[in-house]
Amino acid sequence: MPIVSLIAKPGHLDPALVDNLRNAWGGGVATWLAMDEAAEFPLAAIPDNVDDVRASLVDQVDLNILPDDNRKKRMVLADMDSTMIQQECIDELAEEAGVGAFVKDITARAMNGELDFDGALTERVALLKDLPESVIDTVVENRITLMPGGKTLLATMKAQGGYAALVSGGFTAFTSRVSDLLGFDENRANSLLIEDGKLTGKVGLPILGREAKVQALEEITARLGISEADVVAVGDGANDLGMLTRAGFGVALHAKPSVQAECALRVNHGDLTALLYLQGYPKAEFVSE
């Protein structure tokens, strides 16, 4: 039996909207996971006009259709840039190098799938040549902020025995720190090559891109003895699509248009705790850090 999930910013989910939609679709009793923020109800069958209704609500509510079985996942597999943190690390490094606007444009196009990921990364990193290694600390301390809800997402899932892996097309210099801050069990990313205290403008090979994220999904689930259906994956860029379309729940979080178009689950209004609501966790069961 499919489940209709409705998630909005706190205080912005109108109970009348939930009731009207439930009545229109002949749904079952609505359950509020968080008053005025997240609700869900079961359906006998998926209506024909789901896409139209979803489009009509896109400016105010995240509407998703979920299966009612195996909702609580045993692993979270997450992208870092613009997912677990609110920035793109390479854009912030580029700002320090004085080429921020140019690099930001390339990043946006690469994340929307308009450019080859490996080539775009190589081109952008080349522009960082000769920056002092200390720029990494500067960016972490002054430019990087965590995406709201990330610590609660990981703490809640790990309290239920879940596993958390951070897989990024960014850099280990950042994933190692973000991983520690949020409580990930492991992290994978690219390496910024450094010589004599300066960035060389090169990336360690092989470059971790779309296929490497799928490989991480395959390797980690095999090691843990779980299936890909037991995973909730989250990301925002085209290089995340491989893992998003393979995982049991693949969530496009504040994602690029081309990514949202290929993902069944989309979150544009909620923060990372929306991944808990999608799994059926009520707010009362959230675990803080």
pLDDT for 279 beyond 90: yes
Rounded CA-CA distance 209/103 in Å is 18
* Residue 150 predicted with pLDDT over 70: yes
Look up 81 and say whether it is catalytic: yes
Tokens at residue 60, please?
């105010």
Buried b (16+ CB within 10 A) or exposed e, 49-58: ebeebeeebe
**Degrees, nearest 5: CA angle 144-150-155:** 135
Residue 244 structure tokens: 């998003």
The predicted-structure confidence for 173-195, as pLDDT tens digits, reads as follows 999 999 999 999 999 999 999 99
Q: Catalytic residue among 59, 69, 79, 230, which?
A: 79
What ranges do the domains of the chain cover?
1-69
Residue 289 pLDDT level (bands cut at 50, 70, 90): low
Instruction: Name the CATH topology of 1-69.
Output: Alpha-Beta Plaits (3.30.70)
Concerning whether 52 is annotated as a catalytic residue, the answer is no
Q: How confident is the model at residue 10 (pLDDT cuts 50, 70, 90)?
A: very high
Note whether 234 and 213 are within 8 A (CB): no
Coil vs helix vs strand at 27: coil
Q: Which of 59-68, 109-118, 132-141 has the lowest mean pLDDT?
A: 109-118
DSSP annotation of 284 reads G
Which residue is catalytic, options 81, 91, 118, 230?
81
* Residue 288 banded pLDDT, cuts 50, 70, 90: confident
Average pLDDT, the chain: 95
